[in-house]
Structure 1
Amino acid sequence: MADKHVRTDWFLRNIAIGPAFRGLSRLKIDGKEHIPPEGAVIVAANHLSSMDAVIVPLAMGRPTTFLAKAEYFSGSGIKGRLTAEFMERVGTIPVDRAKGRAALMSLDAAQQALEDGRAFAMHPEGTRSPDGRLYRGKTGVARLSLVTGAPVLPCGIIGSHKLLPPGSRRIRPAKVLVRFGPLVQPTGYRSGPMAIRSRDMTVDIMRAIESLSGQEYVDQFSPGPKSTSQD
């Protein structure tokens, strides 16, 4: 499976999607020096568009695994089967957000991906921003880092919502900037109960994302997108 993931990632990045997408988005990347070329790392990015799942792996320059809605793996017809096959080949991990146990199992799969030395991307906000602002992060990223020892790579995405505006099904040309910051190491959060350590680490991760993205910060959890058509 890992070899198939690597081969598919190379094909998508260099032939099938990458060249056209880079031209459409005029993708610019800052902070490449912070990206570990190999080994386990958790990418923590803000979330403005469903296109972020394409943008982050292209900006990373290495195979990067995401969590995705379980519905992407269970669609019917030719389109559904092709979507499920695509998600499987790029190493996406399905998560049923309506079922707590299923979500926990997805995080177990994410932990395994990190233990295998892969890059794994998450959105601490949990869902797309409804208004372009940055909302309070949930502690899943920090907990995964503290359990596995994998460092967190803060990522600020700028402009992806213009590529695919809310409610639209058509991708439009727009400038996209991805900025990576210095790694946040879990070793800096050793003392105290897990709940306190994960919250402190989450606060620092969100501050880093805020600085990178330039978004206004809202100290409350995101209510989710106004339109769910692309979430």
Structure 2
Amino acid sequence: MFYWFLKWIALGPLLRVVFRPQAVGADHVPLEGPAILASNHLSYADWLFMPLTLSRRVTFVAKAEYFTTPGIKGWFQRQFFSGSGQVPIDRSGASAAEGALSAAKRILAEGELFGIYPEGTRSHDGKLYRGKTGVARLALESGVPVIPVAVVGTDVVAPPGKKFGRLVQPVVRFGKPLDFSRYEGMENDRYILRSITDEIMYEIMRLSGQEYVDQYAARAKEEQKKAAEQAAGETDEQKKAS
């Protein structure tokens, strides 16, 4: 908690002055009690700007490597991520999803806000991709509301593949809380989980204005990579032939 406080008195004011992030609908986020903040994911900067527009701490899960790097650099990195609302999770194994779910339920049980990116990875082209059903399962097992969130402009501040872009004003839009208590006890029904997830993604799409693609982002990235490699190979063959 001490380092979270340091983040707000040091990093927070700097980001506010430089980028002037704007919040819309922040009153939809409860002043106390647990809630899931389900957001789109355009940039690695999303987890900085979204919590910055709220008075409450928002906790995310982050890869364990951020917390295990040795040396002085590792110490500062560990303090920064811990203080800015991150908890470590080993995402390399088959049980990564279960570990993330357990961590999320623990945070919500403590009455905190938990942030999640249903797409599972950053969008590589600015489009909104199909959500994974972990967010629906978490909502049903924890019994807390889901607040859809759209972060706009962070892909300009920090574009994919780059550390820095252009100076723009990010906008964070919070939607009305979604209550899924009508599905209580149905967390093992995959059709219910998909229906809940699609409802959440629709609200995120409505808030963000992004084009929706009914495909997982990770698969879309892989297909784009293969297409680029194939195109590069064909170009090399053409050069050799000429």
TM-score, with structure 2 as normaliser: 0.85
User: Which of 63, 68, 73 lines up with 2:67 in the alignment?
Assistant: 73
How does 1:75-224 map onto structure 2 within 5 Å? 75-170=69-164, 172-190=166-184, 193-223=188-218, 224=221
Give the gaps of 5 or more residues in structure 1.
none
Worse overlay, 169-178 or 138-147? 169-178
Task: Report if the CA contact (8 A) 1:34-1:180 is conserved.
Answer: yes
Task: Report if the CA contact (8 A) 1:135-1:219 is conserved.
Answer: yes
Cα root mean square deviation, aligned: 1.9
The total of aligned residue pairs comes to 221
Secondary structure of the residue that 2:53 maps to in structure 1? helix
How does 1:3-42 map onto structure 2 within 5 Å? 4=1, 7-13=2-8, 15-42=9-36
* C-alpha separation in 1, matches of 2:185 and 2:142: 16
* C-alpha separation in 1, matches of 2:79 and 2:169: 30
Once the two structures are TM-superposed, the CA of residue 95 in structure 1 deviates from its matched residue by 2.1
Task: Report if the CA contact (8 A) 2:4-2:82 is conserved.
Answer: no
* C-alpha separation in 2, matches of 1:118 and 1:142: 18
Task: Report if the CA contact (8 A) 2:35-2:114 is conserved.
Answer: yes
State percent identity of aligned pairs: 43
Deviations 1:106-165 (A, max 9, x none): 321211110010000000000000100000000111111100101101000100011112
* C-alpha separation in 2, matches of 1:167 and 1:151: 34
* C-alpha separation in 2, matches of 1:79 and 1:8: 16
The structure in which a higher percent of residues are helix is: 2
